[in-house]
Amino acid sequence: MDNRETNATWKYHNITKHPGMPPHYMDWENQPIPFKIYKNLDPIKIPEIQTLSESTALTSLSKSFTDTGSEHVPSLSALGHLLYLCAGITKKVKYPGGDTYFRAAACTGALYHIEIYIVTSDIKGLDAGVYHFSPHDFSLRRLRKGDFRGFLAGATAGDESIATAPFTVVCTSTFWRNSWKYQARAYRHTFWDNGTILANLLAASFAYGIQSKIVLGFIDTVVNKLLGLDTEKEVAVSLIPLGKLRTQVPVCKEEMEEIHYEAEALSKTEVDYPSIREIHSASSLTTEKEVSKWSRGGYKHSYPKPKGKTFRLRPDDDKEIDRPSDTLENTILRRGSTRKFDRVPITFIQLSNILYRSTRGIPADFLKSPESTLNDIYLIVNDVEEIPQGSYFYNRGRNVLELLNEGDFRRKATQLGLGQELPGNASVDVFFLADLTNVLNEFGNRGYRAAQLEAGIIGGKLYLAAYGLGLGASGLTFFDDNVTRFFSPHAQAKSTMFLVALGKSE
Ligand SMILES: Cc1cc2nc3c(=O)[nH]c(=O)nc-3n(C[C@H](O)[C@H](O)[C@H](O)COP(=O)(O)O)c2cc1C
């Protein structure tokens, strides 16, 4: 399949819309385990967290550590901090059906289908190699010994941030762990749930002074082979080079030895959803030429001149924002999706800080600058001081909210959010919509991965910003076309990517 044959994306996107997904019953007896557990590999313990950054959540999440050109190699302990703050187990809750191990970042259905691997050079305390991160015992397991970073450099057509990184985090998705509940829609969740992890990882890397970047342009087969993945079931999704060395690792294009390690069965049986494999294959990059083109990609985003009444956001500056905002570590430890919102207002300053800060600081190979975007943001304001209830468009170019329609849309918000009460009770609902035609023209099918992932990252940042200010948030699913219709004509022809509700937790 060809990345440029974008009918594949439209086909997948259209068959996984709500309403339209086939009814499904959850087979609790066959629920997959939430971890990848290798049977015969010894754990290498990661040092416990020792020092805290004390950087605030709102500062860390809105900035990216720009390339100063100077060398910095994060320690093993810093790597441990990053892994814990993006994918570690932060609480265990006992339920009649068994314990749930909640993680640092939100995840659809608490199913935690995103796995994390590290490809590293020699760093103090850890030999060069390819490792799997196991959150259940907070350890690494070695899959390959030696410096394999050259293969990643080869897979990314020599991407400089990859070639100079002492280590790169690779995120994968194990489809069945999510499709057990969400069927073929799980492919969208791959990017939403990877996005919330990356929001935490970017914020933590800024807090610890570690350069980072998100790289989606890579030859899929090379990265999958490097990790020894069974690609019918698990695939690489994103690469995040961390730190900087003065010298680049030479690109390696040699044949790699196959590896295979046995892992515990996820459940008794697994159901295959061919449409997931099809869209993944259609959005795969297969040649260096395709990757080079992708990495040079840049997406021009223009904002229409506002027609309606506008309200300029009033975010606090860097000094002011630190006062009401909790530290990043405390915020991540306290974070948990709001299960019920109080019907009370939040202030316009709070909304300004949350929106402004969350939409910045994403260093990614699919964005021209950390401030550019593939998604547009639309809002339903149920209760925010100083501005009327209604539907809005966030014009990032002018940093204003444009009022589209004034009115009480609480009931509408509930309907759009699949009939769930959360968006109706929340103070504000933030919808992500992308002009998929433009995105696919620019990037081919892989643009779909990028648009979904970016929505997930900003969604993850919204969580951190809200909790950093003592508020609550929840990611939500939605009735796709009804959302577009609701925000039209402004949102005409755009596709709904994701939804996050914000407010005060009851
Ligand atoms: C992408 C995404 C979509 C979600 N959709 C819903 C939803 O539709 N309804 C809901 O009640 N919770 C939703 N959640 C919240 C998850 O259920 C929650 O993150 C998960 O149970 C883990 O709990 P925690 O966030 O409190 O750690 C969503 C979360 C994410 C990240």
Q: Say if 303 falls within a structural domain.
A: no
Q: How confident is the model at residue 368 (pLDDT cuts 50, 70, 90)?
A: confident
Q: Which of 224, 235, 266, 229 is nearest to 172 (CA)?
A: 235
Q: What is the model's pLDDT at position 471? A: 98
Q: Say if 295 falls within a structural domain.
A: no
Q: What is the model's pLDDT at position 65? A: 79
List the CATH number of the domain containing 148. Answer: 3.40.109.10
In this structure, are 54 and 105 located in the same domain? Answer: yes
Q: Does residue 192 line the site of ligand 1, with CB under 6 A?
A: yes
In angstroms, what is the span from residue 491 Cα to ligand 1's centroid? 25
In angstroms, what is the span from residue 101 Cα to ligand 1's centroid? 14
CA–CA dist 174, 386 (Å, integer): 45
In this structure, are 357 and 495 located in the same domain? Answer: yes
Last residue of a domain, one of 289, 323, 358: 289
Domain hosting 196: range is 7-289
In this structure, are 325 and 262 located in the same domain? Answer: no
In angstroms, what is the span from residue 473 Cα to ligand 1's centroid? 9
Stretch 69-73: mean pLDDT:
88
CA–CA dist 209, 395 (Å, integer): 31
Whole-angstrom CA distances from 364 to 158, 212, 337 are 15, 9, 26
Q: What is the model's pLDDT at position 52? A: 83
Q: Which residues contact 357 (CB under 8 A, 6 or more apart)?
A: 58, 61, 62, 315, 321, 461, 465
Nearest CA to ligand 1 atom 16: 108
Q: Tell me the longest C-alpha to C-alpha distance in the chain.
A: 63
In this structure, are 269 and 321 located in the same domain? Answer: no
Q: How many CB atoms lie within 10 A of CB 97?
A: 8
Contact in structure between 428 and 353 (CB atoms under 8 Å) = no
In angstroms, what is the span from residue 25 Cα to ligand 1's centroid? 19
Ligand 1 atom at shortest distance from the alpha carbon of 189 = 1
Q: Say if 304 falls within a structural domain.
A: no
In angstroms, what is the span from residue 334 Cα to ligand 1's centroid? 15
Q: How confident is the model at residue 294 (pLDDT cuts 50, 70, 90)?
A: confident
Last residue of a domain, one of 255, 289, 323: 289
Ligand 1 atom at shortest distance from the alpha carbon of 417 = 8
Query: Looking at the predicted structure, is the pLDDT value of residue 349 above 90?
Result: yes
Query: Looking at the predicted structure, is the pLDDT value of residue 297 above 70?
Result: no
Q: How many residues in total does the chain contain?
A: 506
Q: What is the model's pLDDT at position 324? A: 80
pLDDT tens figures, 208-243: 999 999 999 999 999 999 999 999 999 999 999 999
Q: Does residue 474 line the site of ligand 1, with CB under 6 A?
A: yes
- Residue 171 has which token pair? 């995120």
The percentage of the chain sitting over the pLDDT mark of 70, rounded to a whole number, equals 99
Q: What DSSP assignment string belongs to 209-224?
A: T--B-BB--SBHHHHH
Q: Say if 299 falls within a structural domain.
A: no
**Residue in 177, 474, 477, 479 to alter for ligand 1 test, most ligand atoms within 8 A of Cβ:** 474
**Helix locations, 247-298, DSSP H:** 274-282, 288-296
pLDDT tens figures, 441-481: 999 999 999 999 999 999 999 999 999 999 999 999 999 99
Contact in structure between 65 and 210 (CB atoms under 8 Å) = yes
CA–CA dist 8, 394 (Å, integer): 30
Q: Say if 1 falls within a structural domain.
A: no
In angstroms, what is the span from residue 500 Cα to ligand 1's centroid? 10
In this structure, are 386 and 495 located in the same domain? Answer: yes
Q: Does residue 425 line the site of ligand 1, with CB under 6 A?
A: no
Q: Which of 239, 297, 300, 296 is nearest to 443 (CA)?
A: 297
pLDDT tens figures, 404-443: 999 999 999 999 999 999 999 999 999 999 999 999 999 9
In this structure, are 377 and 273 located in the same domain? Answer: no
Q: How confident is the model at residue 378 (pLDDT cuts 50, 70, 90)?
A: very high
In one letter, which amino acid is 403? L
Q: Which of 249, 255, 258 is nearest to 128 (CA)?
A: 249
Q: Is 146 exposed, middle or buried (0-12, 13-18, 19+ CB in 10 A)?
A: exposed
Nearest CA to ligand 1 atom 21: 110
In angstroms, what is the span from residue 42 Cα to ligand 1's centroid? 33
Q: Is 495 exposed, middle or buried (0-12, 13-18, 19+ CB in 10 A)?
A: buried
- Residue 449 has which token pair? 């991965």
Calculate ∠ Cα 494-472-197, nearest 5°.
Answer: 65
In angstroms, what is the span from residue 219 Cα to ligand 1's centroid? 31
Q: Does residue 108 line the site of ligand 1, with CB under 6 A?
A: yes
CA–CA dist 499, 503 (Å, integer): 14
**Helix locations, 32-174, DSSP H:** 57-62, 76-87, 149-155, 160-163
Ligand 1 atom at shortest distance from the alpha carbon of 105 = 27
Contact in structure between 244 and 394 (CB atoms under 8 Å) = no
Q: Say if 296 falls within a structural domain.
A: no
In this structure, are 357 and 282 located in the same domain? Answer: no
Q: Say if 198 falls within a structural domain.
A: yes
In this structure, are 50 and 104 located in the same domain? Answer: yes
Q: What is the model's pLDDT at position 468? A: 96
Beta bridge partners of 263: 38
In this structure, are 353 and 252 located in the same domain? Answer: no
Nearest CA to ligand 1 atom 17: 109
Q: Say if 301 falls within a structural domain.
A: no
In this structure, are 256 and 350 located in the same domain? Answer: no
Q: Does residue 130 line the site of ligand 1, with CB under 6 A?
A: no
Q: What is the model's pLDDT at position 372? A: 85
Query: Looking at the predicted structure, is the pLDDT value of residue 298 above 70?
Result: no
Q: State the DSSP code for 283.
A: T
Q: Does residue 200 line the site of ligand 1, with CB under 6 A?
A: no
In this structure, are 266 and 314 located in the same domain? Answer: no
Backbone angles phi, psi at 378, to 5 degrees: -120, 150
In this structure, are 179 and 63 located in the same domain? Answer: yes
Q: Give me the number of domains the chain comprises.
A: 2
Q: How confident is the model at residue 341 (pLDDT cuts 50, 70, 90)?
A: very high
Q: Which of 476, 367, 371 is nearest to 425 (CA)?
A: 476
Last residue of a domain, one of 233, 259, 289: 289
In angstroms, what is the span from residue 414 Cα to ligand 1's centroid? 16
